[in-house]
Amino acid sequence: MLSFALQHALENSLERVIMVLPYLSIIEQTAKEYRDIFADFGDDFILEHHSMAGLGAEKTETDAEGNQEQEEQIKRQRLLSENWDAPIIITTSVQFLESLFSNRPSSCRKIHRIANAVIMFDEVQTLPTQLTIPSLAAVSHIATHWHSSVVFATATQPAFNHLHEEVVKHCSGGWQPDEIVTDHANMMDKLRRVNFTWLDDKLTWQNLAKKIKNPVQPQVLCIVNLKRHAQELWQALEGEENLFHLSTNLCALHRQAVLAEVRQRLKDGLPCRLVATQCIEAGVDVDFPVVYRAFAPLDAIIQAAGRCNREGKPNKGQTFIFTPDCEGGLYPDGTYQQAANVTESLKNELGEQFDLYNPEMIKKYYQRLYTVAAPEQLAKDLYQSIKDLCFPQVAQQFRLIKNDMINIVVPYDEQIFKELQNLAEEKGLTAKWIKKARGLSISLFRPKSDDVVWDSLLPVQQFKQGRYSKQEDWFIVANNDDYDKTLGYKRPESLKCWIA
């Protein structure tokens, strides 16, 4: 993608490359690769701008040692992030798209930089269904009127052109993109690196654990839909050597350490069994010979198979799709379940013709999904707010992540954690503190006001206008026992009891 973007920018006199990624986990590995490539071009050549970049508007003050050079770098980085004044921008779908619909000057200040750019959207299948049409309309407008080129890339390209008639109601260009890659069927046929096996019988975690522990298959990845399921499967596998766990309950430094060890063991041909949630399936560079995937939407299953025989070895990889036999829901939300149901209906209808390497079948899946989900009916309030020019309402209604999030700093690295505790007490919440806290942070949907989780979190106070003020976005774990060295953050199930 980067190679194409640079050549395209050169040939069309475009000024910058903007890489738009859906997940912070992909940003971590992408930013590292890009910084290695452009190491000789200076620190300001590549700009990361996302919720964990530590480049917010907080007032930054010189530290006790008077490290003015570091302080100036932080200020310069914040100024660049406000204006996106860098040749290569790496950002998230949330940051990019929500800025287009924002009413806040701080978010809109960078929009002019989107003109005359190559904008690369990776893993575009992650766009939420309810905001697909307004997102496509906004991007189409940019491509038509702002002298920018927009590229949508994914192994599971959604049939967005099926929505052209709805998009054209909001943007004259509609959605009729040019295809860079043609002859999909031939290309997909050459990329048959995996055999799919659909397990008809539901599997308990214990039965699944027996399959994963099979000594004939020493390197196995299992992807489940819920963090709760990952923990239950982990418990069924407990005691097994060379066992790893990966989910968003792990902070960034923890995830990086797990992935580094997993990759090294895979490279050395050593036993390695990894239990993970969907956080691993889109864009994360691992290559297992065997993958188990809990039944999910079609694009998720195909993405999971992308972690199987990723390097195209002669022996085809094996991907098994199973349905868990367990209590409670099987999917994270109703939208995810709806897409899984469409996948199941298509599989039952096509039988042996259900070929995940057939681009026409993938197209049929998305067409059916958009017909069932009816995205044109899901954002009527947003369309009305746009028509009324009610910008605060537009910003509020265009949210890729509906649920509000909080950031929790966890004690994965005790030394850094202690330094953050001391800095929080001395200076409160600053951009410098956030930057330092990135690696030890996890995001959590904001709990309800009466949730017991609040009893175990300490808010990081913000210093404003000479006094500390309350903020509700950053917290520190109060009890070190709430973070497990393997499973990550553990939500407390009851209030802490203090006896005096």
CATH (domain of 233): 3.40.50.300
Q: Is the pLDDT of residue 21 over 80?
A: yes
pLDDT at site 376 = 83
Distance from the Cα of residue 232 to its chain's centroid = 23
Both tokens assigned to 173: 């260009």
Quote the pTM value: 0.83
Residue 286 lies in a domain: yes
Beta strands per DSSP E along 305-365: 317-322
The stretch 61-69 carries a mean pLDDT of 45
pLDDT at site 413 = 93
- Same domain, residue pair 26 and 89: yes
The stretch 428-435 carries a mean pLDDT of 83
> Alpha carbon of 423 to those of 57, 64, 420, 464: distances in Å?
18, 11, 5, 16
Burial degree of 13 (CB within 10 A; 0-12, 13-18, 19+): exposed
Q: What is the mean pLDDT of the chain?
A: 87
- Same domain, residue pair 180 and 201: no
pLDDT at site 47 = 86
**What percent of the chain stands above pLDDT 90?**
52
pLDDT at site 56 = 41
Residue 365 lies in a domain: no
Of residues 326 and 42, which shows the higher confidence score?
A: 326
Q: Which domain does 50 fall in, by range?
A: 2-185
The stretch 235-251 carries a mean pLDDT of 92
Read off the pLDDT band of 73 (50, 70, 90).
low
Q: Is the pLDDT of residue 55 over 50?
A: no
| CA 348/CA 351 separation, integer angstroms | 5
Residue 86: phi and psi, rounded to 5, are: -150, 155
**Contact present, 251 and 485 (Cβ < 8 Å):** no
Q: What is the DSSP string of 136-173?
A: HHHHHHHHHHSS-EEEEE-SS---GGGGHHHHTTT-TT
- Same domain, residue pair 448 and 344: no
Q: Is the pLDDT of residue 53 over 60?
A: no
pLDDT at site 63 = 41
**Contact present, 209 and 237 (Cβ < 8 Å):** yes
Residue 138 lies in a domain: yes
Both tokens assigned to 210: 């027996």
- Same domain, residue pair 213 and 110: no
Q: Is the pLDDT of residue 22 over 50?
A: yes
- Same domain, residue pair 235 and 119: no
The stretch 230-256 carries a mean pLDDT of 92
Residue 469 lies in a domain: yes
- Lowest-confidence region among 222-226, 326-330, 400-404, 433-437: 400-404
Q: Is the pLDDT of residue 58 over 60?
A: no
Contacts for 410 with CB less than 8 Å, ≥ 6 apart: 251, 417, 440, 441, 442, 477, 482, 483, 488, 489
Read off the pLDDT band of 340 (50, 70, 90).
very high
**What percent of the chain stands above pLDDT 70?**
90
Residue 40 lies in a domain: yes
Number of domains in the chain: 3
- Same domain, residue pair 113 and 201: no
Read off the pLDDT band of 191 (50, 70, 90).
confident
Read off the pLDDT band of 285 (50, 70, 90).
confident
pLDDT tens figures, 459-496: 898 776 556 666 678 999 988 889 999 999 998 877 66
**Final residue in a domain of this structure, among 122, 153, 185:** 185
- Same domain, residue pair 151 and 229: no
Residue 495 lies in a domain: no
pLDDT at site 77 = 61
Question: Quick one: angle between helices 359-373 and 298-305, nearest 10?
Answer: 140
pLDDT at site 341 = 95
